[in-house]
Amino acid sequence: MTNNLIIKPAYLIAKDIKDKKNSQGEVYSFFEKRISQHNASLNAFVDLYKNNFDNQSNSNLTGVPIAIKDNICIKGKKITCASKILKYYQAVYDATVIKKLKSSGLSLIGTTNMDEFAFGSSTENSCYGPTKNPWDKTRVVGGSSGGSAAAVSARLVPFALGSDTGGSIRQPASFCGVVGLKPTYGRVSRYGLVAFGSSLDQIGPITTNIKDCAYLLNIISGFDQNDSTSAKVADPDFTKSLGQDVASLRIGLPKEYFDQDLNSEIKETLDQAIIFFKKKNIQFKKISLPHTQYSVPTYYIIASSEASSNLQRFDGIRYGYRAKADDLWQIYQKSRSQGFGDEAKRRVFLGTYSLSSGYYDAYYLKALKVRRLIKNDFDQAFKEVDAILTPTTPTAAFKIGEKIKDPLSMYLSDIYTISSNLAGIPAVSLPCGFTKDNLPLGMQLIAKDYDEATLIKLGDAFQQDTDFHKKIPELKNV
Ligand code: GLN
């Protein structure tokens, strides 16, 4: 009965439970077993829970197990953000998204590995060691939600939550051959998400297919008075966008993303996707987002500034790890020196520098102004098109160790994803091909504020006639 669970979308697993073809217990045990077989070689999960379902609820996803990135609070459970400084810390309340999942009857199966405090693009900056890519275990999974992306890609769980500050849902989704959606800033409550860049962070779904993404987004989105940046906007039923006609839509191709430096395999793959959409009578238009080249420096100034401020709370007193020391200043100093990893320290240095007097105007304030110009570029583009198509990443998954000593080249792996965070707009990565070495490639679709519906519509049209999202890595050597 449970054999086909690895190929079934989550919403159909839930339907089988409702129709009594499988029980919640059987489904949970099936995925627990897969995790016990494969997690040791992938290092995707950092904590696993015993069966915890609630039979009272009745939603479209009741009974389906879900994995949670280790930076989202689950009451009474460890939450570490893959940092030594929080190694034994337990959350004292449920994040709003967790409350929503619980009340919709999903089973939380465990928490997933990530870059420390979500700083990174490879899940190598983790106190638990790197997660391995299920398509090639010598390669990274992307980051920072790499554990979630790997777990979904290897079908250790039907879907997961990640968080995206500069690409951390989409980039690992692309490297692992799964779907990752960053909602509009304000669509999903950040209450209970450990803050990295508060003006950029969003929680979003990582799924094997776009339909599950729509179902999961329905559950986690919505206004929340506990998050002052959560938006009071209408909450559409995203599943209504599935199976809709896309013929009248217009897609923009920004020339800055398709320059001569674009990797040829990625270009050919995107060309195929464009041909596909043209057959659906979608119109393509060349557009320009002229401030694209400033997005990486702008992001790293703003994100690091906010991170340095957010990390101040980890002082060795209030949360987690405390170093042995003789006085208060030494407690602060030693707990942070010993508790934070290299990348976290780097972000604190970059951020406090950009915010300090004498440099504030030259860096932080200037970055805020450029951020506005980047947002204006998108506003302008969306007067002419309904969505924008770009690569998700400049390359397929790179080798473990390849970039870890070179932060700048690591930062550049987010070159295509971060401008949507700066602009606050929604974006999705969809599997759209493979390299000749059989590594997954992703395409990114970006839409205007609160228009996730268009992304889901386009994604569903694409997945109805293609099967890139159905390919499952072989998981050799286990
Ligand atoms: N890789 C980017 C960074 O290191 C984005 C991380 C994220 O989205 N959390 O900041």
Does residue 41 carry a catalytic annotation? Answer: no
Nearest to 165 by CA among 430, 448, 367, 411: 411
The reply to whether omega before 144 is within 30° of 0 (cis) is: yes
Q: Does some domain include residue 213?
A: yes
Summarised one tens digit per residue, pLDDT across range 108-135 is: 999 999 999 999 999 999 999 999 999 9
Site to probe by mutation for ligand 1, drawn from 70, 121, 203 as the one with most ligand atoms within 8 Å of Cβ, is 121
* Partners of residue 434 on adjacent β-strands: 440
Closest approach atom of ligand 1 to CA 143 = 1
Ligand 1 interacting residues, C-beta cut-off 6 A? 118-121, 144, 164-168, 196, 303, 414
Residue 439's H or E segment, with its range, is: none
Question: How sure is the predictor about 252, in pLDDT bands with cuts at 50, 70 and 90?
Answer: very high
Residue 148, domain extent:
2-245+428-470
358: in domain: no
111 bridge partner residues: 47, 68
What is the number of structural domains in the chain? 1
Exposure class string for 210-230: b at 16+ Cβ within 10 A, else e? bbbbbbbbbbbbbebeebeeb
Question: Would residue 186 count as lying in a domain?
Answer: yes
Q: Is 144 tagged catalytic? A: yes
Crossing angle (nearest 10°) for helices 366-381 and 295-310: 120
Whether 438 is in a domain gets the answer: yes
Q: Is the pTM of this model over 0.85?
A: yes
Asked if residue 237 has pLDDT above 90, the reply is yes
Q: Is 384 inside a domain boundary?
A: no
Q: Say which of 69, 84, 182, 403 is annotated catalytic.
A: 69
Inside any domain, residue 187 = yes
- Whether 96 is covered by a domain: the verdict is yes
The three-point CA angle 461-178-83 to 5° equals 145
CATH number of domain containing 119: 3.90.1300.10
pLDDT of residue 478: 46
Determine the Cα–Cα distance for residues 336 and 354; give it in Å rounded to an integer.
20
Q: What is the pLDDT of residues 28-68, one digit of tens each?
A: 999 999 999 999 999 999 999 987 666 678 899 999 999 99
Q: Could you tell me where the beta strands, DSSP code E, fall in 134-274?
A: 159-164, 179-182, 202-207, 250-254
Write down the pLDDT at residue 243: 97
Pairing of the two strands 179-182 and 107-112 = unpaired
- Looking at the domain assignment, is residue 286 inside a domain? no
Q: Please, are residues 91 and 135 in contact by the beta-carbon 8 Å criterion?
A: no
